[in-house]
Amino acid sequence: MSTFGERLHAAVQARGPLCAGIDPHAALLGAWGLGDDVAGLERFALTAVEGLAPYVSVIKPQSAFYERFGSRGIAVLERVIAESRAAGALVLLDVKRGDIGSTSQAYADAYLDPTSPLASDAITVSPFLGFGSLDPFVDTARRFGAGLFVLGLTSNKEGPEVQRATTETGETVAARMFDHLAALNHGAKPFGSFGAVVGATIGDAGTELGFNGPILAPGFGEQGGTAADIKRIFGDLPVLPSSSRGLLRHGPDVSALRDAALATNAELVESGVR
């Protein structure tokens, strides 16, 4: 069984580093001429899959925008996951879960166990109940060859209050999280399956990012992060610049979505992002 790190490396080599978010904001549904209801959600999400999933390495649905429609919205999310993977993309489900004990295990089973209809290649998780609280996610990811992206240095303005706070040893909380990731990824080639979320608009990471795992970089595109920023902040590290609105505003035309994804990937590659 291949690891998530191995599959991600192969996907990026074949399709480029762009991660395409499929986030059905109510405003985007309206911009596409769709209703803010389950029918609009389904039309939006599956059109985005058709236009993006065959051309990018990773599709990232934000679970909350499906959950707000209840069980019928979750059914649409299940289709997004299945059809994106059928089109050859890896699926990173953005759920940012974090809890303890049996609850963490239940979340891990929901999103990483292949027998679940929500099973994805990787998910986002929050370590701020203590990194050890993620053990059920880590163990389940290892068992099924899945991956995790742990919140590290996020692009929201409130993030530094916690992430750049210092620990009893003087290092930042984010740096401590990256140390844990380095231990999980030790010896993995081409890189490990345990990554971090580091915003493309943070300016300077202020800490070592070489934890031998992939980096998810939201904030690229509409939020102001550029290909040059990605290269400056992350250098030659394995990074997935993530764009949602910057791509989705080209819909509902499928060919326009495709062209936007291909052009964005080309820009990233030309800037030296891998």
Question: According to the 3-state scheme, what is the secondary structure of the chain?
Answer: CCCHHHHHHHHHHHHCCCEEEECCCHHHHHHCCCCCCHHHHHHHHHHHHHHHCCCCCEEEEECHHHHCCCHHHHHHHHHHHHHHHHCCCEEEEEEEECCCHHHHHHHHHHHHCCCCCCCCCEEEECCCCCHHHHHHHHHHHHHHCCEEEEEEECCCCCCHHHHCCECCCCCEHHHHHHHHHHHHCCCCCCCCCEEEEECCCCCCCCCCCCCCCCEEECCECCCCECHHHHHHHHCCCCEEEEECHHHHCCCCCHHHHHHHHHHHHHHHHHCCCC
d(CA 59, CA 57) in angstroms, rounded, equals 7
Q: Is 189 a catalytic residue?
A: no
Query: Which is catalytic among the residues 96, 157, 189, 231?
Result: 96
Active site residues: 96
